[in-house]
Structure 1
């Protein structure tokens, strides 16, 4: 029994380089993955992009990050956005409370004037002004 050993040499000619994709190109590739009969793997092979990169671009597109980059806007992390929304909600609640307090005080002043509990106080505004 003889064993034949063959040596195989693989020669690659490709240059390793980092490509830059514009936001428009990324969006076009992502749209192509959603077309009928297309898959992420097929589009990746067709355009010589890794499938994981396309999946990442699809995720960014769902989050709206590709649109923000295309529009020249900065992308805000989701944690910062959630914190800002929570602060806005808190400020709106505080504004609502202060508005309610002001309305209650205004009604109290009107009632006090009508019962003559407040007699011509110079610091309080009158309805004529």
Structure 2
């Protein structure tokens, strides 16, 4: 059968290389989508989705009128954004703590170097 792995939920996951090989067989006319779907025991819509994704280059546009970028680049960028948002939150907490400490110090009288006689 086909090189596959079981993903979460028990779904079969085929490698990108396997998908490309199978789509190449269809394009060469060795078999039809229906024949491939029977051979691999998957729905024809899955094969059509593979074809669509590979034709599209597995790219993603975040919104209309934006440049199309590879999905992997988008995933990395979103991960970086989450990391930076976490750091900004951490720094905001540090600033609040330091400001509160400064305010407490300002409230206390300063008797440094002044003798009370």
| TM-score with structure 1 setting the length | 0.40
Larger RCO, structure (CA 8 Å, separation 6 or more): 1
| TM-score with structure 2 setting the length | 0.43
